[in-house]
Amino acid sequence: MIVSGLYLEHNASEVSNVSLTVLSGEVVLELWPGNASLTSNTSLSVDESSPIPLHVVHRVHTTSNEPACYMYTYTRKSAHDEQAKFDAMDASVDDVADAEPGPATKTFRGRIKQRLKNLERAVGFVSNAFLHLMYSVPMATRVRLR
């Protein structure tokens, strides 16, 4: 039985790999998987954590005399999806070397060229900042005349 007046009800649906970690105090994590008969409670104290399943409404009840402090750790779904795309691109790099140039190869090469341009600009910005710090005067490392 939970004896407390303070609780947080939450449903983490836009993220994955969710866990709750208690930083101070004591809490009870109450999971509601959609069926009241399957409700489960987990007591957590300082430095303990518990995973939270996706699409499950849960409540965090404070059971200590002092206020509890806890944090959620998670992975955004979009970041996870982006990582999966990059992994797929890395896997396809081996196939690209053996294949004839096609539309997929051209778009991959276009992405690589754009990344190299961005890297070149970043190095330019850093070198300009370095020169500005060294000489206390804004100095451009390269000037384009048209």
Amino acid at 31: L
Q: What value does the mean pLDDT take over residues 68-95?
A: 70
* Ranges of each domain in the chain: 7-76, 78-135
Mean pLDDT to the nearest integer, 23-52: 84
Per-position b or e across 105-122, b if 16+ CB within 10 A of its CB: eeeeeeeeeeeeeeeeee
- Classify domain 7-76 at the CATH class level: mainly beta
Rounded average pLDDT over 4-26: 77
Q: Given this model, what pLDDT does residue 1 score?
A: 41
* Residue 122 reports pLDDT greater than 70: yes
Residue 19 vs residue 79, higher pLDDT: 19
pTM of the model: 0.49
Measured torsion, CA atoms of residues 43, 48, 51, 55, in degrees rounded to the nearest 10: 60
Torsion 123-128-132-134 (CA) sign: positive
Which residue from 141, 2, 140 is spatially nearest to 58, judged by alpha carbons? Answer: 2
